[in-house]
Structure 1
């Protein structure tokens, strides 16, 4: 029964990435489809954050099945069987289509974890990124020359107070560390427009430096919000003082 005792005060996380890669179909490929209006082939996935050496995909160095039982992808309702349950790695779905839409992703953990499933959304990205992030759809011939479009998000799944048995499972499968420095293009993120150029030229890879930079951006944004809040609080205090002064003058 000791295995079902939660280890209080312990938090352990597992880094993941989720997102999609999309490529433009050639006219020959489109002619072979049952839906010839489809213009792209795309893959949406949940993977470990680190990439395997010389890999041609984003992330995926580690097998996540020791803590993930199932990943459910809910596609647009126009797809046959839009709810896709993936019960073993790779946790991904490959399809063809012509439009972008939001994909609902649900991660169900292994029963021994005692953890509730988590859900989130990913916006399927088919068209090349721009600095403004406003959609600009180039002609298919031009988009084909530009290569695959990557849209990936780094995240960490945190397990607080895990059961003893599950904690041992996690400790037995340490995640592959992210590279400390940039070896490949970096994933573009709309919150960091400056990364657009650095994202070009191949399959992107998350790095420890990116994680640090993201933490710094979040901290800077937090401090900016605090400063703005303090500014408006001081303005409000001054206005209230002026109001009280006017009230006293009217009472005379």
Structure 2
């Protein structure tokens, strides 16, 4: 069953829009400021592959933290889609992407492991060099709506196919 909103925008057949994304964490050791329960400050994020704003594609992101955190389900309603916290332990995040209404009505669930300590444990941890763990992926939207296609046609984070010149999509003039 289609929602009424979905029917108002025609779908472009045999067209795919690809959105390269990066999701991951960056963790900083707090050094002298560290306590037993808060040794690191970290940020988890979802962004364009070159740090572009994904707001035209993503409506909100839900980060599911470890249950030991206060309010472990965190909702970020607008870009930048990131969340910062302090803690001492490593754990796996569930990251749920919810798309703009004319993009896709299904959520996309990603998983990412927070790493606080560098691979080469060669002694003391540095406060100057963060631990960064990232994953690259591409979200592909087959047969996109005309409104989605028109909105992201010139967006730097979105890969949109070149349409033939005979293809007439009434785009709003800038």
TM-score normalised to structure 2 length: 0.81
Matched, 1:14 2:28: no
Please name the residue that 2:126 is paired with. Answer: 144
- Greater relative contact order (Cα 8 A, min sep 6): structure 1 or 2? 2
Contact 1:15 1:157 (C-alpha < 8 Å) held by counterparts: yes
CA apart distance, 1:165 = 1.0
1:151 and 1:66 mapped to 2: Cα distance?
25
What are the Cα deviations for residues 39-74 of structure 1, in whole angstroms up to 9, with x where unaligned?
A: 111100001111xxxxxxxxx2x1110111001100
- The structure with the largest helix share of the pair is 1
Q: How does 1:1-252 map to 2 (within 5 A)?
A: 4-27=9-32, 29-30=33-34, 36-50=36-50, 60=51, 62-130=52-120, 136=121, 142-144=124-126, 147-175=129-157
CA apart distance, 1:146 = 6.3
Rg (Cα) greater in structure: 1
- Counting matched residue pairs gives 154
Contact 2:17 2:158 (C-alpha < 8 Å) held by counterparts: no
RMSD of the alignment, in Å? Answer: 2.1
- The structure with the largest strand share of the pair is 2
What are the Cα deviations for residues 55-109 of structure 1, in whole angstroms up to 9, with x where unaligned?
A: xxxxx2x111011100110000000000000001111111111111000000000
Q: Secondary structure at the match of 1:143?
A: coil
Is the deviation greater in 121-130 or in 99-108? 121-130
Q: Secondary structure at the match of 1:80?
A: coil
Q: Secondary structure at the match of 2:34?
A: helix
Runs of 4+ in 1 over 3 A off after TM superposition: none
Q: Secondary structure at the match of 1:167?
A: helix
Which segments of 5 or more consecutive residues in structure 2 lack a partner in the other structure?
A: 1-5, 160-174
Which segments of 5 or more consecutive residues in structure 1 lack a partner in the other structure?
A: 51-59, 131-135, 178-252
